[in-house]
């Protein structure tokens, strides 16, 4: 499989991960942590992460909650 050229939180990134969940694991994210994901500005529900295929040029945003006040 040819690496995909995508962007993660605005930064260019190459991956061979076929799905969003694979990408998150590749990047070291604990899947049970509190964060959300969007691809191309569209929210991806957590239950769809294992099946959501990544495509060339996708813009992935990983968003963590901000604590404090």
Dump pLDDT digits (tens) for 7-35.
Answer: 999 999 999 999 999 999 999 999 999 99
pLDDT at 29: 94
Q: Which two structure tokens, joined as six digits, stand for 38?
A: 């969007």
Q: What is the DSSP letter of 46?
A: G
Can you tell me which residue has the tokens 């495509």? 55
As a whole number of angstroms, the distance between CA 44 and CA 30 comes to 17
What are the Cα distances from residue 32, in Å, to 2, 42, 55? 29, 21, 24
| Domains of the chain listed by start with CATH number | 4-63 (3.10.20.30)
Rounded alpha-carbon distances, angstroms, from residue 1 to 18, 41, 63: 9, 26, 28
Read off the pLDDT of residues 41-65 as tens digits, 9 standing for 90 and up: 999 999 999 999 999 999 999 998 8
Q: State the pTM of this model.
A: 0.91
């Amino acid at each position: 499989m040819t690496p995909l050229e995508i962007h993660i939180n605005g930064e260019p990134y190459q991956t061979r991960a076929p799905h969003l969940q694979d990408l998150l694991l590749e990047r070291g994210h604990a899947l049970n942590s509190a964060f959300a994901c969007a691809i191309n500005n569209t929210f991806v529900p957590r239950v769809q992460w294992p099946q959501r295929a990544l495509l060339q040029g996708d813009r992935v945003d990983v968003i963590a909650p901000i604590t404090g006040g």
